């Protein structure tokens, strides 16, 4: 099998209250990644702002912007200047009262190559996303870039095998998961390690089940009140199509540039031919809410 090498950049950073500063800082980090050879750069979920979903406040919808707003414009400019593709998460204002947790992929020409709206919306203490985000209506997809077919997904999507499966089946070679996940400081000692392990295990399994690369990019730092808030756990990583972790960041700011051989996809799928044997005649129940045939 022939090699097809591409370097992917993962920008894991801490975020402050000033959106313009966050944007300017991220532009510099993308430039760094490009200088280190990255051809596709992935940013973390809602990278331009602090994770505002820690509280429900109608004023915070002011953070939303149109698809071709300042965030996309700034990233399109650096994409064009450096000749790279960038996965750009943003808080999308679609219409009054209709807001999405979205991403665009900007091309090396500075165009929007594709647009995805987060399909699975969480709602948990300090992650009040159902208040802000209308569930996505664009479905699962693959977005072409010059170097790789990118399968866009966002954070909570990462817990759903159906999302990974359909994205891979649409032709993606690389699932990208911009993320904002962290510990509740009070839970960290007891549950921190198992939560981080579950998060990584789930995504490595998507790589294995589908024979694709997985790129997860998470933020770092504490946000919110000193006696509460969230500790974003970082640990951005890349897994190969057999779930092997090629590179993993720590819990501080860090930009990974990771070489991926897309030729591995066909090699792995030949040796572990899971797609061949799917029982599509028997999977109809997946579209049910629950099957309610418990024996108990």
Q: Does 275 bind a copy of itself (CB under 8 A)?
A: yes
Q: Does 124 bind a copy of itself (CB under 8 A)?
A: yes
> Rounded to the nearest whole angstrom, what is the least distance from the CB of residue 123 to a copy of itself in the complex?
8
> Rounded to the nearest whole angstrom, what is the least distance from the CB of residue 238 to a copy of itself in the complex?
15
Contact 44, 11 (CB under 8 A): yes
> Rounded to the nearest whole angstrom, what is the least distance from the CB of residue 284 to a copy of itself in the complex?
6
Q: Does 247 bind a copy of itself (CB under 8 A)?
A: no
Interatomic CA distance for residues 66 and 46, integer angstroms: 14
Backbone angles phi, psi at 172, to 5 degrees: -65, 140
Query: How many CB atoms within 10 Å of residue 42?
Result: 33
Question: 147, 155, 173, 260: which is the annotated catalytic residue?
Answer: 155
Beta-ladder partners of 8: 40, 258
Helices (H), the chain: 19-35, 70-82, 129-132, 161-169, 185-210, 263-271
> Rounded to the nearest whole angstrom, what is the least distance from the CB of residue 146 to a copy of itself in the complex?
10
**Residues in the chain, overall count:** 296
> Rounded to the nearest whole angstrom, what is the least distance from the CB of residue 136 to a copy of itself in the complex?
8
* Residue 190 annotated in active site: no
Residue among 59, 190, 227, 277 that touches a copy of itself (CB under 8 A): 277
Place of tokens 């024979």: 211
Binding footprint of a copy of itself, residue count (CB under 8 A): 67
Question: 7, 25, 42, 45: which is the annotated catalytic residue?
Answer: 45
Residue among 32, 126, 170, 266 that touches a copy of itself (CB under 8 A): 170
Contacts of 250 (CB under 8 A, 6+ apart): 234, 235
CA-wise closest residue to 212 among 113, 142, 277, 294: 142
* Residue 266 annotated in active site: no
Contact 249, 236 (CB under 8 A): yes
Footprint (CB under 8 A) of a copy of itself, residues 88-117: 114
Q: Report, in angstroms and rounded to the nearest whole number, the Rg of the chain calculated over CA atoms.
A: 19
Q: Which is nearer to a copy of itself, 95 or 280 (CB)?
A: 280
**What separation in angstroms does the CA of 199 have from each of 159, 181, 194, 231?**
8, 9, 9, 15
Beta-ladder partners of 101: 91
* Residue 31 annotated in active site: no
Footprint (CB under 8 A) of a copy of itself, residues 135-164: 135, 139-145, 149-150, 156, 159-164
Q: Which is nearer to a copy of itself, 14 or 141 (CB)?
A: 141
Footprint (CB under 8 A) of a copy of itself, residues 187-246: 194, 197-198, 201-202, 204-206, 208-209, 242-244
Q: Which residues bind a copy of itself (CB under 8 A)?
A: 114, 119-122, 124, 135, 139-145, 149-150, 156, 159-166, 169-173, 194, 197-198, 201-202, 204-206, 208-209, 242-244, 271-275, 277-280, 282-296
Which residues does the annotation mark as catalytic? Answer: 45, 118, 155
């Amino acid at each position: 099998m022939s090699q097809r090498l591409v370097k992917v950049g993962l920008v894991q950073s801490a975020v402050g209250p000033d959106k313009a500063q966050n944007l300017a800082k991220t532009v510099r980090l993308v430039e760094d990644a490009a200088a280190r050879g990255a051809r596709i750069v992935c940013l973390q979920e809602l990278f331009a702002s602090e994770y505002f979903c820690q509280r429900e406040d109608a004023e915070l919808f002011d953070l939303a912007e149109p698809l071709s707003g300042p965030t996309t414009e700034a990233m399109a400019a650096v994409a064009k200047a450096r000749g790279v593709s960038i996965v750009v998460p943003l808080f999308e204002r679609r219409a009054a009262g209709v807001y999405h947790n979205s991403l665009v992929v900007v091309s090396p020409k500075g165009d929007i190559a594709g647009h995805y709206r987060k399909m699975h919306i969480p709602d948990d203490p300090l992650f009040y996303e159902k208040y802000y985000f209308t569930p996505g209506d664009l479905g699962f997809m693959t977005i072409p870039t010059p170097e790789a077919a990118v399968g866009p997904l966002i954070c909570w999507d990462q817990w759903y095998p159906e999302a990974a499966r359909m994205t891979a089946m649409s032709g993606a070679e690389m699932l990208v998961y911009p993320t904002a996940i962290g510990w509740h400081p009070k839970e960290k000692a007891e549950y921190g390690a198992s939560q981080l392990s579950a998060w990584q295990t789930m995504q490595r399994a998507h790589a294995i089940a589908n024979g694709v690369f997985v790129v997860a990019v998470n933020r770092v730092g504490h946000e919110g009140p000193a006696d509460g808030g969230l500790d974003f756990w970082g640990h951005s990583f890349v897994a190969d199509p057999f779930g092997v972790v090629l590179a993993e960041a720590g819990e501080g700011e860090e930009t990974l540039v990771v070489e991926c051989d897309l030729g591995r996809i066909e090699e792995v799928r030949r040796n572990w031919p899971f797609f061949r044997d799917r029982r599509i005649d028997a999977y109809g129940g997946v579209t049910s809410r629950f099957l309610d045939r418990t024996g108990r």
